[in-house]
Structure 1
C-alpha cells in the first residue's frame, strides 16, 4: 500500500509539472543589484548598507507598480536592524542572504538552506508558520541558540541564494535547480571563511535544500551537514558524499516526505528522484530526534528538531538526542 502511495505521489507531481504552471501575479519590477565589494570582515558594513538601500528601492518600485503585498514584504526586509550579504529582487534572479548575529566575530556559522516554494513573498511569513520561511526559520534557530547559551558566538545565515523549485513541478523531482544552487552555496561558504577564517561552518538543509547541500558538500570545508525533511541527497550512502563533516539526518513523524520514493528513475533527458533515504539505517548518517511534526515544522520554537539543530549549529554533537 505504501509503495502505491509513493508512486502515486510521483505520478501526480510529474503530471502537475507537465500541465504547466498556473496563472500567477506578474512579477514586480526591481532594481539592478548594487556593485558589492568582495566579502571580508572589513567590507561587511558596506555590503549591509548597499543591500539595505537596494531592498528599500525595490519596495518603492513594487509599491509604485501596484504590487502592494510585495512592497510590504520588502519594507519589512529593509528595516535598518537587518543585515543582508546580498539581495536581488529581479524576476528569475531572486536572492536574499541575511545575517543574524556577528558574522566577523563568530566561532560557528550556521547556514539555513530552504527547500521548495521559498521566495521573496514568503521570505518572512507563511500563514501561521513564520518559522517555515527562510528568514523566520533562521530567526527561530538564532533565538534557540541564544536560549541554550547566551554567550555562544554563533552567526546564522538565512540563505535564499538559489531559485528553489515549486512543490508541484518537474524541477522539484530533478537536480537542475540543485546543481545551480550548489555552485552558489560553495561560493558563499568560501566567502564565509574569508570573513571569519577560524569559524566552523554548518549547513542545515530542509527538503529540496538538502539536495542542494548534497551536491555542494564534497567541495567545501564544513564541520556539520544536517538535513531534515529530505527526499534524498543524490547518493546511496554517507560515504558517497565525500565529506569529512559530521552528517546528520532527521524526519518528523507526520512528514509527507516519507511517501516520496527514494529512487532514481530515468525520465526523458533527466533523472527523477534523489536516491537513498538519509534517515535509513544503511545510509550512515547520525539520526537526530525530530519529533512528531510535519514537513514545515522542523524549526518550530519549542520543538525537539529545533533544539537538536541548535546543538548541531553550536558544535555540541555529544548533546544531540538520537532517534
Structure 2
C-alpha cells in the first residue's frame, strides 16, 4: 500500500494544471551594491505571479506570492512557476560577517514556504547583529510520499545550482565572511552532492536519511562536517543503507550521526524532525554557535 501511494501521489500531482506565472526577473549578477535592485525586481515578479495565480483561481498560491511581494521581504531570486523556488535574505547581507545558508527537505514549496521561513527567522533572531541567514529554496523538492524522495535524482539536479549560488554569494559577502551550510532532511542529500570543493567553513546535516556518501571524508570537502538528530526524529527509523534497483540507487547510505560516518555529532535535544530551528531549542543554540564560529561551545551528543 505504501509503495502504491508513493507511485500514485506524484502522478496525481503531475496531472494538475500548472499554475501560470511569469518567467523570473532578468537580473545582472548580484553584488553588494545591487542587492536592493534585486530585491525590488523579485518583489515585483512575485506581485505579478500573485495576480496570475488569482486569475487562475488558485487562491492559496496567490496568497503565498502576495506575501512574498511585501515591501519588507528581500529575495535574491523568485520563480513562481511549478512548485516554486525562492531565495530569501534575513539581515544585512552586504555587511554580514557570518552567513548561514539553509537548504530544506521534502515538501517545501511556495505554499509551504512559511514553515521553512520561520526556521530561518528563528536562527537569525538567535544569531543577532552582524549576521545574515539565507533561506535557499533553489530546487524542486521531492514529495515526502513519493518515489523521488528515495533516490538522489532531485539532489543531483539541485547540487550544481547550490554550488553556483555559493559562488555568487561569496562574491557578495567577500572572502572574510564565515559561511555555513545548514541542511535538513532530503536537503542533506543535496548538500552531500554539492559538498566537493564548496567554499564554506561548515556543513551541518540535520535529520539526515544519509548523504549518499559513506563517510564525511567521502564528501571531499575542506569544511567541518557536523551532524545531529533529535531524540524524537522519525528519520532514525529509516534504513540507512542503499541498494541498486533496476539501475537506480535507492537509499542514501551511512547514517551521518553514526561513528562510522566521522562527522562532528552535536546535541539536538528531544526535538522531532521539524524542530531543529525551534526557538529556545538545544539544536538551535548549537547551530548558532556553529554559524558564529564558536565551535568550542557546541555541546556534543
TM-score if structure 2 supplies the norm length?
Answer: 0.95
Which residue matches 2:257? 279
SS at match of 1:184: helix
Tell me which of 76, 85, 91 is aligned to 2:82: 91
Tell me which of 169, 180, 183 is aligned to 1:202: 180
What aligned pairs does 1:238-317 form with structure 2 within 5 A after superposition? 238-317=216-295
Q: Is the 8 A contact 1:251 1:279 kept in 2?
A: yes
Stretches (4+) displaced over 6 A: none
Tell me which of 68, 72, 84 is aligned to 2:63: 72
Q: Which whole-Å CA distance do the structure 1 matches of 2:111 and 2:225 have between them?
A: 31
Shift, 1:106, TM fit: 1.1
Q: Is the 8 A contact 1:204 1:227 kept in 2?
A: yes
Which residue matches 1:106? 96
| 1:168 matches 2:145 | yes
Which residue matches 2:124? 142
| 1:190 matches 2:167 | yes
Q: Which whole-Å CA distance do the structure 1 matches of 2:188 and 2:287 have between them?
A: 14
SS at match of 1:292: coil
RMSD: 1.4
Q: Where do 5+ consecutive residues of structure 1 fail to align?
A: 1-10, 125-132
What number of residue pairs does the alignment pair up? Answer: 298
Q: Where do 5+ consecutive residues of structure 2 fail to align?
A: none
Which residue matches 1:129? none
SS at match of 1:321: coil
Which residue matches 1:6? none
Q: Which whole-Å CA distance do the structure 2 matches of 1:322 and 1:206 have between them?
A: 19
Q: Is the 8 A contact 1:48 1:83 kept in 2?
A: yes
| 1:120 matches 2:102 | no
